[in-house]
């Protein structure tokens, strides 16, 4: 991977080599904000399409890090048809659909 501030960098998705994150194959970058980039990915076995949110924690203030942890806690606890569901979290990457 390149020396980007995100675990998955935009240039990685242009390489011919398959980029994987756990059991997911990254297909394309679908969005970017000040602190995070979102990628479209597919589970290797189930073929389920997900969004992977890659957050650059080094760019976050202490308050924004606390807000991120709060968002993760809420998403772990909530299940609703109209709210994005959290599948799993990894210390270096957050995946949600």
Is 76 annotated as a binding-site member?
no
> What domains appear along the chain, each with residue ranges and CATH number?
10-96 (3.30.200.20)
Three-class SS of residue 58? helix
pLDDT digits 0-9 by tens, 10-61:
444 454 678 888 899 999 999 999 889 999 999 999 999 999 998 888 889 9
Q: What is the pLDDT of residue 7?
A: 54
Distance, CA of 29 to chain centre: 10
């Amino acid at each position: 991977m390149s020396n980007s501030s995100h675990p998955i960098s935009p240039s990685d998705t242009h390489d011919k080599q398959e980029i994987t994150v756990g059991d997911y194959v990254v297909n394309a970058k679908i969005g970017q904000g000040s602190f995070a980039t979102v990628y479209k990915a597919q589970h290797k076995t189930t073929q389920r399409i997900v969004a992977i949110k890659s957050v650059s924690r080094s760019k976050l203030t202490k308050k924004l890090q606390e807000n991120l942890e709060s968002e993760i806690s809420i998403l772990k606890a909530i299940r609703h048809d109209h709210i994005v569901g959290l599948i799993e979290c990894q210390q270096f990457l957050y995946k949600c659909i």
